[in-house]
Amino acid sequence: MDQIDLSIVKQLLVNCRKTYREIAESLDLSTNAIYSRVQNMINKHMIIAFTAKPSLLYLKGLNVLICGDSSNTDILNISKKLGQDEHIYFVGNASGNYLYIDGYLRDISELHQYTSTTSNVAQISEPLVAIRTVPYRIIEKPLKSLDFKILKSLRDNARKPISEIAEEVGISAKTAAKYIDRMMEYHLVEFSINFAPRTEGIIVSSFHIYLPPKDDFSIQYQKINQKYSDNILYLQIFSNIPNLIIITALTSSNEETANLYSRLQEEHFKKVEHHIMYYGHFFETWRDILYKKMIE
């Protein structure tokens, strides 16, 4: 996996229905080259699925990250137990029995019970609980019955061509495209990928960057995003911990990983923590179950 693959993945994470031609134009490559690279990542089980789901904004839900050191050394077994919780969609196993647990909550009232239960199962005595920041938008356009029929068609492959969607649903290709564009414009649906870069030659790191109180957060965020873009898979920011930025980064060697860590430490942030990711597990949640009920 190289810089081009990383650029492709970052675009697909934001919108997996983006055409290969559009991606090719953004990277000044041929459409065939993009197709071949995506197919290679699928064959290596790095891109696990192309997903389409009602957005958290539409569902009025929360995305909560819980992480910390587990006192249990059987991390794989702990991950499976955590995956039985209807809220948890991803568990990442990092160096030193460090766990990253990603979950969806229906609303803030579930936060206390979810945090307590998850921390107990994971055996994390001092968990970091971070609520991901989402843009504030008022959802004025509800999903319509035809939207759900289209989403049902996309359930197993969110990249399905418009022509196939139209044929399955019984509408024109123009109408299908119009409805998909509408869902995206009003942030009713998220088209993304389940991505797990677990192949040889790729090291996945998580860097926790704590900014000094005096720093301008937006300036530092943009600076980090631009300066380290060659390695960044994505950045995470949190509404309840405004001075924390978590970088998920990809490197190709231990030397490159150490160099990236050193460069971040030289930035004079308040604190930089580094964890190397080993495994990632995806699970079905209440959001997926609700989605299936909605489209049926």
- pLDDT of 135 > 70? The answer is no
Residues 6+ apart with CB under 8 A from 24: 30, 31, 33, 34
* Residue-wise pLDDT tens digits, 254-274: 999 999 999 999 998 999 999
Amino acid at 214: K
CB atoms within 10 A of CB 282: 17
Confidence of residue 171 (pLDDT cuts 50, 70, 90): very high
- pLDDT of 139 > 80? The answer is no
Fold exhibited by the domain 145-186: Arc Repressor Mutant, subunit A (1.10.10)
Max Cα distance, the chain (Å): 59
Rounded Cα distance, 74 and 36, in Å? 38
Which position has the token pair 């239960």? 117
User: What pLDDT score does 3 carry?
Assistant: 85
Structure tokens, 221: 């965020």
Tell me the backbone φ, ψ of residue 193, rounded to 5 degrees: -135, 150
Structure tokens, 146: 């035809």
* Residue-wise pLDDT tens digits, 174-194: 999 999 999 998 889 999 998
- Alpha-carbon distances, residue 16 vs 104, 164, 212 (angstroms): 21, 17, 36
Q: Which CATH architecture has domain 56-136+281-290?
A: 2-Layer Sandwich (3.30)
Higher model confidence: residue 137 or residue 2?
A: 2
Question: Do the domains spanning 3-43 and 145-186 agree at the CATH topology level?
Answer: yes
* Residue-wise pLDDT tens digits, 29-40: 999 999 999 999
Which position has the token pair 């231990």? 254
Rounded Cα distance, 99 and 127, in Å? 10
**Domain range annotation of the chain:** 3-43, 56-136+281-290, 145-186, 203-278
**CATH 1.10.150.120 applies to domain 3-43:** no
pTM: 0.85
CB atoms within 10 A of CB 270: 13
Nearest to 122 by CA among 143, 93, 146: 93
User: What pLDDT score does 200 carry?
Assistant: 65
- pLDDT of 289 > 70? The answer is yes
Q: Which CATH architecture has domain 203-278?
A: 2-Layer Sandwich (3.30)
Show the 3-state SS of the chain: CCHHHHHHHHHHHHCCCCCHHHHHHHHCCCHHHHHHHHHHHHHCCCEEEEEEEECHHHHCCEEEEEEEEECCCCHHHHHHHHHCCCCEEEEEEEHHHEEEEEEEECCHHHHHHHHHHHHHHHCECCCEEEEECCCCCCCCCCCCHHHHHHHHHCCCCCCCCHHHHHHHHCCCHHHHHHHHHHHHHCCCEEEEEEECCCCCCCEEEEEEEECCCCCCHHHHHHHHHHHCCCCEEEEEEECCCCCEEEEEEEECCHHHHHHHHHHHHCCCCCEEEEEEEEEEEECCCHHHHHHHHHHC
